[in-house]
């Protein structure tokens, strides 16, 4: 292809993606969200071209007087949101945040306790990911499938027996708060630290509907900034422990990050301001929607394993779709109908079932931000039933999904781009 043909192809691909995902699909991926128009505009700035190695006002590069200001503002805003003393915003992902903390709390050959992978532990917690890359031994915490949570009594005994360097809580399938206080008490008694990965529930914490693990005894928390917290992709670390904060701040640069993608920072600041204003209302609606959606799917004939526990207390829940052919088949059929979610291991699945597990993972945070309420999710449950239980042609259901999505186009709980900024150096990047 010629240069012009290549450029046209690139624009066509981007336009098709944007149209499909933002105007024609219902997105239920539990780890995604959408920024507000103003945050998107703030993301698309000259800062994306710049470097700022080091900490604010102690950089190794010149030209950072404004990036220093915005980074310090981000730290202050998120500190206020989370009611903690120290925030490190330079990790470029939740995984990098985990790597930074893990490397400071343990050395190669040391032991760490984590939740089981089938019970939702993120890959970065495991020997298959960051923990393994750092040479730290993985030992799984006992899990109570009936309660869908850490088995506290058995976990305390294991902590006393193993005496790990740290215990990691938090998960990617995270429907009920982990027992932070009980685990922290046991860990501290043997000199271990507690790391709580709250990537999935950060927006629920800032919205005051989920406990902040730092307030419950965790030594340090890690997170991404783009799941229930609807900011740009990136990571943070937060703590009230000054020694841990100093250690991770010396480690994230230069060990794991050189430049920390500065254009994230203005968008993250905008999102923090939005969550200070709208966060509690947004978080409450996210959880109400998740509970209503799970209940509706149950009423439509699906098996929700946590039904007897009230379905969920977070943005997410799982569906056992073995009667519908398994997770891989169900997820693909729904994608063909423009309903986007992911297959997921459930606690009884063996690790090798990762390519075709028993379950689906569903999150309500993004479509809540586009204005969906409980009754809208009940309508969506009917469309899912048509595909997976009634066996209707996904292409025919897709037409209904596209029509349904037309009601939910504008981002709520956030800010539009002011008219004066539309004419300034800040541009709105969406290619339609």
The total of other beta-carbon atoms located within 10 Å of residue 337's CB is: 25
Pair of tokens at residue 24: 């024609």
DSSP reduced 3-state for 33: coil
Handedness of CA 143, 145, 151, 153 (dihedral sign): negative
The domain locations on the chain are 40-271, 280-405
Residues 131, 319: Cα–Cα separation, whole Å: 29
The total of other beta-carbon atoms located within 10 Å of residue 238's CB is: 30
pLDDT band for position 122 (50/70/90)?
confident
- Mean pLDDT to the nearest integer, 365-382: 98
Residue 200 · residue 31 · CB < 8 Å = yes
Q: Which residue is listed with tokens 């186009």?
A: 409
Angle between helices 374-388 and 394-405 (to 10 degrees): 170
Residue 304 · residue 323 · CB < 8 Å = no
CA atoms within 13 A on the CB side of 3: 0
Please state the φ and ψ torsions of residue 195, each to the nearest 5 degrees.
Answer: -105, 130
Q: What is the pTM for the complete model shown?
A: 0.95
DSSP string, 335-359: HHTTEE-EEE--TTS-GGGGGS-SE
Read off the pLDDT of residues 240-251 as tens digits, 9 standing for 90 and up.
999 999 999 999
- Residues paired with 195 in a beta bridge: 168, 220
Q: Is 262 exposed, middle or buried (0-12, 13-18, 19+ CB in 10 A)?
A: buried
- Mean pLDDT to the nearest integer, 394-415: 97
- Phi-psi category of 35—alpha, beta or left, where left has phi over 0 and alpha has psi -120 to 50? beta
Q: Which pLDDT value is given to residue 431?
A: 59
pLDDT band for position 427 (50/70/90)?
low
Residues 430, 166: Cα–Cα separation, whole Å: 43
Residues near 140 by beta carbon (within 8 Å), at least 6 away in sequence: 113, 114, 115, 116, 117
The total of other beta-carbon atoms located within 10 Å of residue 212's CB is: 22
Q: Which pLDDT value is given to residue 119?
A: 74
Q: Which residue is listed with tokens 């098709």?
A: 16
Is the predicted pLDDT of residue 428 greater than 70, yes or no? no
Q: Which pLDDT value is given to residue 310?
A: 97
Pair of tokens at residue 129: 């990911």
CATH code of the domain made up of 40-271: 3.40.640.10
Strands 220-224 and 339-340, sheet pairing: unpaired
pLDDT band for position 429 (50/70/90)?
low
Q: Which residue is listed with tokens 């999935």?
A: 200
Domain 280-405, classified CATH 3.40.50.1010, yes or no: no
Handedness of CA 25, 31, 33, 39 (dihedral sign): negative
Read off the pLDDT of residues 20-48 as tens digits, 9 standing for 90 and up.
999 999 999 999 999 999 999 999 999 99
């Amino acid at each position: 292809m010629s240069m012009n043909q290549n450029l046209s192809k690139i624009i066509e691909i981007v336009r098709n993606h944007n149209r499909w995902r933002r105007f024609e699909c219902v997105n239920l991926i539990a780890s995604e969200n959408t920024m507000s128009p103003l945050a998107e505009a703030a993301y698309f700035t000259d800062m994306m071209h710049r470097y700022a190695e080091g900490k604010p006002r102690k950089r190794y590069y010149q030209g950072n007087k404004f990036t220093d200001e915005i980074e310090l503002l981000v730290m202050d805003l998120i500190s206020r949101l989370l009611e903690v003393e120290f925030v490190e915003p330079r990790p470029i992902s939740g995984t990098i945040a985990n790597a930074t903390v893990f490397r400071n709390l343990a050395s190669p050959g040391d032991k760490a306790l984590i939740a089981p992978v089938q019970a939702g532990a993120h890959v970065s917690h495991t020997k298959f990911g960051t923990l393994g890359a750092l040479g730290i031994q993985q030992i799984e915490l006992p899990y109570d499938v009936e309660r869908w949570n850490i088995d506290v009594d058995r976990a305390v005994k294991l902590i006393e027996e193993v005496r790990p360097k740290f215990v990691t809580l938090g998960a990617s399938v995270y429907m009920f708060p982990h027992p932070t206080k009980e685990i922290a008490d046991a860990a501290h008694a043997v000199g271990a630290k507690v790391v709580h990965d709250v990537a999935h529930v950060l927006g629920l914490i800032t919205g005051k509907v989920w406990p902040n693990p730092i307030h419950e005894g965790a030594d340090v928390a890690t997170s991404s900034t783009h799941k229930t917290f609807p900011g740009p992709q990136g990571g943070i670390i937060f703590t009230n422990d000054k020694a841990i904060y100093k250690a991770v701040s010396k480690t994230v640069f230069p060990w794991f990050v050189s430049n920390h993608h500065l254009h994230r920072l203005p968008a993250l600041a905008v999102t923090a301001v939005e969550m200070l204003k709208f966060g509690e209302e947004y978080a409450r609606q996210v959880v109400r929607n998740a509970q209503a959606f799970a209940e509706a799917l149950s009423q439509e004939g699906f098996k929700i394993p946590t039904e007897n526990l009230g379905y969920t207390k977070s943005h997410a829940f799982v569906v056992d779709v073995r009667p519908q052919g398994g997770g891989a088949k169900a997820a693909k059929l729904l994608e063909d109908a423009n309903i986007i979610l992911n297959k997921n291991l459930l606690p009884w699945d063996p690790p090798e079932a990762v390519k075709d597990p028993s379950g689906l993972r569903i999150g309500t945070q993004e479509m809540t931000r586009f204005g969906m309420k409980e009754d809208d999710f009940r309508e969506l449950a009917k469309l899912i039933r048509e595909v997976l239980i009634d066996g209707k042609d996904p292409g025919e259901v897709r037409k209904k999904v596209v029509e349904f999505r037309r009601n939910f186009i504008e981002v709520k709980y956030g800010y539009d781009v002011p008219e004066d900024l539309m004419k300034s150096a800040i541009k709105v990047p969406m290619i339609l």
